[in-house]
Structure 1
Amino acid sequence: MITFLCDHCGKCCTSLGAYIRIERQLSEQDYYCKNGITGEIFPVHVAPEFAGEIDEDFTSGTAGSRQGCIFLRRNPAGPGFVCAIYPTRPRLCREFRCYHMVIFNARSEPVGRMVGRADIQTADPVLARIWNDEVKPLPSPATPCCDPAWLERVRAILTAHGYREEPVG
């Protein structure tokens, strides 16, 4: 199993973040938030460098008009985005993986990623064809990335064509 590596693209926070709502402000850096999917209430602590920004968005009423999560911020140290509450982010965010499997060619080069329920991101036309012709037609459980039988079938298909997969944990 390989480790998930975040590339700070911000896509997860743009989509999932819409479900994170501030319920109550406790201080300039502390809030109670609600997960709109599960109803879970959780405390968060904003990193000092973002405290004023979050407070301003929340108190001005612009938080609800933002696309995505109010805690998603441009990375001041480089490209991409960062989470202003990363150490105290909710379970929904902690468990999210934007890809569930990395696929390697015969030279052990990463050539594809399984994203979503069972889609693929790849520039390898052979892998794309194999995925669309042989993997996509498989009966798909609700969460393929967690179904051992489905994963074993995918592993067998990929191996037969000279590829290997590693789940992301």
Structure 2
Amino acid sequence: MEKDYGEQRYLIRNCYTGERTAVQISPGLLHRFLDDETSGERPEACPFFRFDPDERKGYCCVHLTRPAICRDYGCWRILISNADGERLGRIMGSRHLSTEDPKLLALFRDETAALSPLPDSDWDDAVILILRRAGYTVSV
């Protein structure tokens, strides 16, 4: 963070490219941003990243205004698209599906529960097979 403008607005600078971006804490994530436990446990992490250990899920507190480098970063293990190439979801981090597609969500919920004992690489292979059999295109 290069400058704190107040009211949860900051100027950040990419230490590699020098690019500067004004960002703002997303209103629904202010409570997470104010909890700085993540920065103590993960000092190398982005200052706007927060991890919820109970949910086993990470949050970008400036997601709506994040810089270009973050927008370009593929934050996923498995990217899921339909036959037309439209992105429908992604599996991130610790087997978390991020999607707003109800059919994909139901398939994931119904078909992957029994896979939980598998090691990650075997779990990924099994999920990819399930998704492809259901007609989805998968990128890894």
TM-score where L is the length of structure 1: 0.42
TM-score where L is the length of structure 2: 0.49
- Structure showing greater Rg: 1
